[in-house]
Structures are given as structure tokens and as C-alpha cells.
A and B are shown apart, each in its own frame.
Chain A
Amino acid sequence: MQEMIAQFKTDEKHLENIVHWHTIEPREASSVPFPERMDETIRKALQKRGISGLYTHQATAFRAAVQGKSLVAVTPTASGKTFCYNLPVLQSILENEKTRALYIFPTKALSYDQKSELHEMIEDMEADINSYTYDGDTPSNIRQKIRKAGHIVITNPDMLHSGILPHHTKWVSLFENLKYVIIDELHIYRGVFGSHTANVIRRLRRICKFYGSDPVFICTSATIANPKQLAEELTEQDMLLVDDNGAPSGKKHFVFYNPPVVNKPLNIRRSAVLEARTLAMEFLRNKIQTIVFARSRVRVEILLTYLQELVSKQLGPKSIRGYRGGYLPKQRREIEKGLREGSIYGVVSTNALELGVDIGQLQVCIMTGYPGSIASAWQQAGRAGRRHDEALIIMVGSSSALDQYMIQNPEYFFSRSPETARINPDNLVILVDHIKCAAYELPFQKGDTFGRAEIMDVLEFLTEERVLHQNGDKWFWMDDAFPAHNISLRSASQENVVIIDQTEAPDNKVIGEMDTFSAMTLLHDEAIYLHQGIQYQVELLDWEEKKAYVREVNVDYYTDANLAVQLSVLEVDKQKNFSSNEAAYGDVSVRAMATIFKKIKFETHDNIGSGPITLPEVELHTNSAMLSLNPEVLAWDDNRMEQGLIGASHALHYMIPLFVMCDPNDIHVYPQVKAAHNEKPTIFIYDSYPGGIGLSEKVYEKVGTILKETRNMVERCQCESGCPSCIGTDTASQGSKKDAILLLGLFAN
């Protein structure tokens, strides 16, 4: 491996593309002896594995947890984070057989993985401790046993939400004795999903209180800017931050790789996908285990197709696999196993493999583009690196503004603290959903709060809607529905589109599902949908029934859809005025409609056709930050103003995820030359989720910094008059870049 790295470093064909080479020196372990309180059984089991002490962070977590203090441990990949919760939990069960613990993992894949690890530990301890996963796949004949006798129940938030809490009366022994709640991969609980989960935890704690328990929360998180704050917002408990990482790590090389410019005036670089493909091939041919991360499902499939074509003859067709959400659990298990055992050399993944799924440690990690957040980049990088071997991490920049900013400012990446994760548990839509679920579970009483939320108005509202019934000073569920079934924790629009393959009709098969909002642009009629490297064309999207019928095809293009937006301001909640501009924050109504799609050829990325999309408009009420300019400051005509605003918006959209932890899809940036509510040139930055999840609010708070950095980014861009890396190519005129810089400057004043 060392040779390979040296060779890569000196290879001429890479030399001019390597922008930055950052070496992370190996770290020695920092260990302490087993804590005194630790049971002999656990010590012996650990010693059997050759472990004679704990890393500092594990010991800190152990001591705090057994004393009943909630904590959040921040740990890099492969630092033995599971001990942070497994050891105190096992200790407490050994001390009191009645103790129960609930493990919550964000995905089923993770819970499966953790169960095997926990089982091995329990086996080594030769202790009589039952741990079970309880999720949608759990056979009904063992469910009862789990409810009564499971010391450790491993589940996911969705199952907790719809399968456990609404049935709490069947889980009396769990809730009466619940001592620990484990929340692994805390950083995943942000945005909509986090806001939902925070409410699920409110429900959980309400039920615990009913049965007389008050569990300790142990969270583990990847590095983000605000782990303690996020854990406290999610659980509404005081948290101890444990970040004294004592785990060792091998030497790592972190390379920033920028594909060469192929179009000078437009500053267009060679596609990151193609570049990543070439790099991955080099390693795979040498049988070096490599993981390639791509940002979207589509890119995963494209890369997979490329690589399988090129290398499969040499290594065998099953040696390179794709991995992403939408694959069936069985396929995933098989891939994870293959990676651990080494029968699979390469895997192309979305961020699904960022999480702690155990695939062993690989040797090389290639990121196709900046993964969207610093936290995410470090998570992905952590996939490469064996304890006693060197590892190579390559980040290949795409043409996008954010990527170019990162690639060209490596000191920014390596010095900056990662992003802030935001949730908004009091988002009304989400809150009301969970108050319904909570009322189904236990009646509410006058004066009750729901976590920190005041809810009397909501209870009265739901009573008026005939969902609740008020009897004296209590509110009871009064509806024939099972509310949790209609509420999905993950997708914005609450209802998923099922993807049905009718290639072998009448033997139709369900191959995956997708949230409705994404479906508008990815599963419209004639869209090319990729699944496991296979191209499907959507023959019919049945919007009413939420079904997409697809058929296998073999074409040389993919599709890309446009979304048109109309926006009006409902109410302004906060406002700051400056000499030439104003910034505001408030409620808006957005109407979005998918309009047309383009067919784009592989390899050349040429536009080779287009077609209309006929789907109904989707209406969204949400929160927005609004940046307006006093019109007298600039005497520009509308056209010039529009071009300038479009350019500035494009740049802002790319930069915001740097400051607020979110996917670019979680926010929208939309300019208006003359906004209806104040008649001023305005840029709207709004949350994609109904009611907002705190992203645009954070943008409003940090508006000065965001504008300043965005302006710097555009200014430093090497293009002449705007390129996809800064203000985009939607602007037509020559002066747009200068205008955008000017506007960003004026907004920041």
C-alpha cells in the first residue's frame, strides 16, 4: 500500500491535478485501566479479546453512564464507540437483572450490525443476557418474547414510532425498567428526520414517566460543530460531552484532486465522475479495496456501470457492487459481508455507507465531489484506514461552486470546525403529527407540556378538528385511525412512491420506493431511473396511487428535470434594516411544479432532447429568510437586476450548506426582481420542508458571514464571466459575475 501511495504521489499524470496533499500522522492509543466498578465477567470477556484497558473516551463514558448521567460521545470512525454504550449497559444488567435498554439506530442495516457485535460480546461474557432486534422484519412468533424478556431491544426510530410506542401496553416490562436509551449516529438526526425523532423521544419519555422510569441517554456522534447542543435538543436532557478520544489510528493521506479544465472561458473541468472512475480503476486493478462515494443515487449507478464494464472481466462480475438506500436489505447484507471478507474489492456508495455499518476498513476512499458537509467528508474518509496500514483518501472536485471553493481552499477544510446540525422539534406540522400519536398513546391533561413545547392550543385545535375529545380536564384520542401509520419520519411529503418493475409482466416486482418530492423530478414519465446499475425507463407515474411503473431499457443518456416555483410572503416575523438593504425572516407560501426534463448523454454530458412533465403543482408553507435591497441603491434595469440576482442566488445556494448542516436540496434559493411584499429586489432562502426545520432561520442569523464568504468565493473563482463553479451558467450577460459580486457586497452592508 505504501508503494502504491508513493507511486500515486509521483505519477506525472496526476501531478498537476493534485492540489493539496495532507498527511495525518498516526496516533498512539491513550488507554486507562478498567474502571473499578466494571464487573469481572466483562473484564474477562475483554481480556479474552486481548483488551486490557479502555481508551480514555470509553472510560469516561462508562463512569458517567453508570452514575446515571446522560452523555454524548463524539468519536471518529473505528474508535470503538460501541463500548461507550455497550459496557455501561451490560454492567447495569449484571448489577440488576431487571434492567432494560433500548438501542436506537437510524437504519436497519446498522441495527443488524450492532446486534452481531453485541451478541459476540455477550457470548464471550457467558452471561444470560437477551438482546434482540425489533423491527419490521422481526417474525411475529418471537415478538412477544422480545417484549417480555429482552434486556436489550435494538430498533430504529421508525419502528419505535409506529411499532413500539403505540403498543406500549405490550411492553410494560421494558418501560417499567428502562434504564438506558442509546442513540447511535446522533448527527444523522438533523433536519426533518431529527425534528421528527425529537418528538418520538418526547413520546418515549412521556410513556416512561407513565410507567415510572426515567432513562439515561447515551448518544454517539460523528464530529459536528454542536454535538452537545444537538443531543440536548433531541432528548431535552442535560448532556455530558465526551470527546477525549483515545483510539489509535494509522497514517492517512488526504488528497485534494481537481480535474483539469477542459473549457477555459466557462471554467468547466472534466467531470468528477469520469475522473473518479479512472482513479478507482487504477486501484481496483491492483486489487486494492476501494470505496467510491458519489453524491446521488444516479451517480452511484453511473459509476457502477462504468466500473463494472471496465474491471469485471479481470476481477469477476460480483467484485464491484453498488450500495445505497432503495436496495433490499438482503442485497445489502450480502454486500457488507463481501466487503468484510474481501471477496468484494470495490463498492460505489451514497452516503448510506457513511454510517457505522461494519464493512471492515478499506484501503482507499475516493469521494466524487465534496460530500456536502465537512462532517460527512470526515465520516467518508474514515472508511479508509486500517490500524497498522497507511490509507489514501482522495477528494475529487466537481465543477460546482462549493466543490471548487473547498478544493482551492484546503486550509479552510482542515482548519474549520464542521457544520452545525439543526432541528426544529416545534415545527408545527411535525409537532401536531406527534401530539396526535402521543394522544393515541396516553391521554393529555390540562397543564401538560410535550417536552418543552406548549401544547394547549394544539390540543384545542385538534379537539375542534374532532380528532381529540375533551372530557373534563383531559384530552382523549377519538378517531378510528392509527395515527403513526400516516406519519413518516423521513420524507417531507409523508407518502412514498412505490417503484414497480414490469419488464417481465405480468410478473411485476417492487424494486424500491422514493418520497413524493423526489419522485416529481426523478420518476416522472419517461425519466431514466437507475437501480443496481440497470437502467429503467418510467412508463407511467400514477401520481394518485403513488406508483411508478418502470421497464428495463438500455440507453446512452440519463434525465434531469426542472422545477418551477411561485412564492408569496405570508408574514414577516423578524427584520433587520441596514443602510442599503434589509434582511427578514418569516412565513412564505411556495408553489412548485416540475416543468420539463432534459436527456443528457453519458460521457459527453450533451443535451440530446427534452420533454414536458405533467404533474400537479405542490404547495408548500414554510419559513424563509429574505434578503432585500433598497431599489434606489442601484439604477439597473430589471433585466440586469435579474441576471445579477440569479447569479448571486446560485452562489448562495452552494455556500449555505457550509454554514448550516443540510443537503442543498433541503433549502431553496429563489430571486425576485420586485418582491410582491415589499417591491424590492429580493432573494428568498426557504426550507424545503413544510413549516421549516430551522435552516432558513439559521441563515437569517448568520446572514452577514454567509454573504461575505459567498462574495469571496465568487471573487476568487478563476473564470472570466461566471461558470458553474460560482454563479452558474443560467445567466446570459457578460457582466453578470461583476454584478453578482456587487450585489452580494451590497446585501452584506
Chain B
Amino acid sequence: MSLKNKLGRMKGHMKLDSQDKNNTGPETKTIVNEKIPFIEKWQENDTTVYWFDNQYCFIREVRYPINYRHGKYSFKELIDVVGFWNKSPLDHPLSAKGLGAQDLFFFDTETTGLGGGAGNTIFLLGYAFLEKEAIVLRQHVLPQPGNEIPLYQSFLKNINYDTLVTYNGKAFDWPQLKTRHTLIREHVPRLPEFGHFDLYHASRRLWKNRLAKVKLSAVEEEILGLKRESDIPGYLAPMIFFDFVERKDPEILLGVMKHNEIDILSLITLYIHLSRQILQVDGYGEETLEIARWLNYLGKTDEALETYRRLLTHGTNGERITARHAIAYQMKKNKQYGLALDIWLEVAESGTIKQKQEALLEASKLLEHHYKDYRKALMLSSKLLEELEGLSSSSATLVQNLYKRCERLKRKLKASN
């Protein structure tokens, strides 16, 4: 039996997912230096052809005036926030201190599959940056798998910036770029080193409670005041690209390119917005509490405390309690035990379940160790123990420790009587 025949026969065992793949399009073999299909249509869409080593890729470039408004802000506010960072004493992961607005490189890719892996091909490298009085947006497009040398050659010789700004680029886009670059590293320039602002992580910190999924499109809609019209969902990008490779008509790909373009523009708006929140340019806002937590997490105690204090005057009831609870920890650290205890006794009455538990525990500790008021400490600890034992989700070690604490308090109480 010929191999071809066998292949046909064994097909059922091979898990080939041949949906629509069998209505064969035109032959796709490429001849070097061929005439580029649909070249006029590409040109009509701001795209030029880049040749390298007898292979080509496409580069599309459009410019937006600096006053162009995308969502909540116009692009010129990028210059303002970079200025704020430079003036602020705050040392923060998203700080542009020492940089100019023109040093930021807003970057996003489109790929042929999900997840990282050597075979997941990047077919679109898109980026935007500030140049004089405009935002320049460029997209390098792969005409078909295998034309990656011109793609990366054109990309790498064009970039000379300090810091990448991406949405989940630390986990996805940049590693994937490195992967694909490794495969052709002998033929193209080295990858430069970059700083990297990943706005996905920042967005998660601020909005994970507000948004069901902290996707860029959700952030756009809920936070940045942007609504996309007839957008192509990202998950369709691979299929669309494969279709384009078969049929070559740029019309097919334009939707994906538009999607990528908006993603990148939104990165600019999002960076402006995040910077304004972190630097609290606009005073108290919905994000203030999360900002305070973030500062606290970063070890910026003074800035965190200051932000919590702001919540005391402007925040909602819940936020005020959260802020006081956080401030109490700080006071304990500063040995202001009386103030801390007062707050915790209050939080133990009116906080959320978790805050109540924490406050009871902390108050009990203070009473035991600093005020030697074993009776009251025992009362609070017993109350907490009772509550925890009623919950199925309580951590066993916590309950055990608490039990020990109660026993110890009982002993101490007895001894002191």
C-alpha cells in the first residue's frame, strides 16, 4: 500500500481537525521575488512592503495628532503624566522618572495560537510611540509563516526606546517574541534590553474587585470610557490569519489590524489613567483604597498612610473602616498602642468578617502583651475562637494557635488572681 493511501486510511486515527480545511484555496507555494498580491490595496491602507534577503513583510504606519482623544484622555496628557512622575518623589514600578514621554514604547502582538510554545507564531508586531507632535503607530505584518526574517529585521532596526508598555506582555508577548527570535537569531539583530511596564498587573491591583475579568476590553469600557464598534474578538485572530495566508487579500486581515491598533492606543490612555490614579492627581477616587494597599505592599509606608488618611475624610463607610484598620497596624508598629487598640475595638464591631477577626486577634494581643488585661484579652480571643469554629473554611493552624492562646490566657489570668 502506498504511503499516501495509508495516510488517507489512517486519517481517522490522527485527530486532524479538518474543519473547512478541505475546500482547498489557491496553491500557496511562494516564489521568491514574486509580485506581491493585492499590492494596491495594501498601499491604500497605509502599508508599505519591506524587503530583506529576498523575502518581505508589510509595515503599516499611521499618525495621530497629539490632541487626538482616545477615551478619557487626549494623547498629549501622556506628556503631562510623565512630567508628574518626574516631579514626584514616589518610587513606583510604573514610574517614568528619568524618562521622557518619547521613551515609552506601547507594544502589542497578535499570534496564531494561545499559550507559549515554539510553534506559536507572531504574525503582527504593533507599537506606538510619541514623535514630536504626533503618536506614530506602526504594525509589522507577516505575509505567511516563514517570512519572519524580514519581520524581525524591520522591527528590530526600528526600535530604540527605553521602556516597553504592554498589557500582560511580561507573561506573554515579550517571552513569545524572545521565543520566535531565538529560532532565527543567527539572521537578525539581537534583542535589546528594555524596562517594562506591564499594565495588566497594575489593572488587576486596582480593578480585580470591580471587573469580572480584568481584560483590556473590559478596562476600556468600564474605566477608560471607550466603546469598540464592530471589533474582531482576539480569539478569532488565528483563523483570520490562516485565511489571509490562503487568500492573500489584505481585506481579511484589516479587522485584526484595527483591533491591534486600538489595543495599542488604549495602552496609552490606560497608562495616563493609571499614572494619574497612583499619583493621586485627581484626589480621592474609587481606586484610592487599592492604591493605598498597593503602596503598602510596595513598602512605601508613609505614602500608604497618607493615602489611607485621605480615605478617612473622603471614603465611604467601608473604606473608612478599612483605612483605620490599616492605620492601626502602622500605629502598632510605631508603638502607639493605645490608638491602635481603640481602632481595633471599633473595627471588631463594624468591619467585614475578615476585618473583625483580624481586629479581635490584634486587640487581644495588645491587651495581653502591653496592657496585661488578661480578662479582656481572653474574652476577645474566646469570641474569635467561637466564630472561627463555626466556619468550615477556617485554617486549622489559626484555630489551633488561637486555642493555645486562650489556654495561655486562662493560665495567666489564674496566676494573676
Contact = CB atoms under 8 A, between A and B. Distances in A.
Contacts of A621: 9-10, 12-13
Interface in B145-175: 145-147, 175
A691 B13 contact: yes
Interface stretch (A426-434, A552-560, A652-660, A672-680): A426-434
A607 B4 CA distance: 49
B92 to A, nearest CB: 24
B15 A494 contact: yes
A459 to B, nearest CB: 11
B118 A478 contact: no
Interface stretch (A152-160, A275-283, A342-350, A468-476): A468-476
A478 B242 contact: yes
Given A166-B117, A167-B116, A477 B145 contact: yes
Contacts of A666: none
Nearest to A470: B29
A465 interface: yes
A464 B117 contact: no
Given A464-B24, A467-B16, A477-B145, A428 B7 contact: yes
A328 interface: no
Interface stretch (B176-184, B353-361, B380-388): B176-184
A389 interface: no
Contact of A172 (B1, B182, B246): B182
Given A442-B118, A570-B1, A480 B10 contact: no
A469 B145 contact: yes
Contact of A479 (B10, B113, B147): B113
Nearest to A437: B119
B146 A472 contact: yes
Contact of B7 (A172, A457, A466, A571): A457
B17 interface: yes
Contacts of B9: 570, 587, 621
B115 interface: yes
A737 to B, nearest CB: 39
Interface string A467-501: 10111101011111111001100000010000000
B277 to A, nearest CB: 29
Contact of B146 (A471, A479, A480, A494): A471
Interface string B109-125: 00011111111110000
B13 A429 contact: yes
B28 interface: yes
B147 A170 contact: no
A440 B119 contact: yes
B115 A170 contact: no
A471 B144 contact: yes
B145 A169 contact: no
B141 to A, nearest CB: 15
Contacts of B32: 472
A621 B245 CA distance: 34
A327 interface: no
Contact of B17 (A477, A481, A587): A481
Contact of A486 (B15, B115, B144, B239): B15
B14 interface: yes
A476 B15 contact: no
Contacts of B4: 457, 461
Given A429-B10, A471-B147, A480 B16 contact: no
B238 interface: yes
* B interface, size bucket: 35 or more
Contact of B238 (A170, A465, A480, A570): A480
Interface string B246-257: 100000000000
B391 interface: no
A466 B18 contact: yes
B30 interface: yes
B333 interface: no
Contacts of A166: 117-119
B1 A465 contact: no
B212 interface: no
B415 interface: no
A147 to B, nearest CB: 12
Nearest to B116: A167
B6 to A, nearest CB: 5
A169 B245 contact: no
B21 interface: yes
A136 interface: no
Nearest to B178: A169
Of the candidates B24, B146, B246, the one having the most CB atoms from chain A within 10 angstroms of its own CB is B146
Nearest to B181: A169
Contacts of B6: 428, 587
Contact of B10 (A428, A443, A472): A428
A3 interface: no
B7 A471 contact: no
A482 B113 contact: yes
A443 B12 contact: no
A690 B119 contact: no
Contacts of B3: 428, 457-458
B137 to A, nearest CB: 26
Contacts of A711: none
Interface in B195-237: none
A429 B8 CA distance: 11
Contact of B182 (A169, A476, A483): A169
Contacts of A81: none
Nearest to A457: B3
Given A470-B28, A482-B113, A691 B238 contact: no
A529 to B, nearest CB: 27
A469 B113 contact: no
Contact of A441 (B18, B118, B175): B118
A429 B14 contact: yes
A461 B18 CA distance: 12
Interface string A576-593: 000000000001000000
Contacts of A573: 1
Contact of A469 (B7, B17, B146): B146
Contacts of B114: 480, 482
Contacts of A469: 28, 144-146, 245
B245 A478 contact: yes
A168 interface: yes
A690 B17 contact: no
A699 interface: no
A11 B178 CA distance: 72
A439 interface: yes
Interface in A547-576: 570-571, 573
Nearest to B16: A465
A619 interface: yes
A168 B175 CA distance: 12
A466 B182 contact: no
B149 to A, nearest CB: 11
A168 B15 contact: no
A465 B18 CA distance: 7
Given A432-B7, A478-B145, A571 B1 contact: yes
A172 B121 CA distance: 19
Contacts of B24: 464
A512 B194 CA distance: 46
A589 to B, nearest CB: 8
Nearest to A207: B118
Of the candidates B7, B32, B147, B246, the one having the most CB atoms from chain A within 10 angstroms of its own CB is B7
The 9 closest A-B pairs by CB, nearest first: A440-B119, A471-B146, A476-B145, A480-B238, A466-B21, A169-B182, A169-B179, A690-B13, A477-B119
Interface of B: 1, 3-4, 6-7, 9-10, 12-18, 21, 24, 28-30, 32, 112-121, 144-147, 175, 178-180, 182-183, 238-239, 242, 245-246
Given A466-B21, A471-B147, 9 more contacts: A166-B119, A429-B14, A457-B3, A464-B24, A472-B30, A478-B121, A482-B114, A486-B15, A690-B13
14 contacts: A166-B118, A169-B183, A465-B16, A466-B18, A466-B21, A472-B32, A476-B145, A476-B146, A477-B121, A479-B112, A480-B114, A570-B1, A621-B10, A690-B13
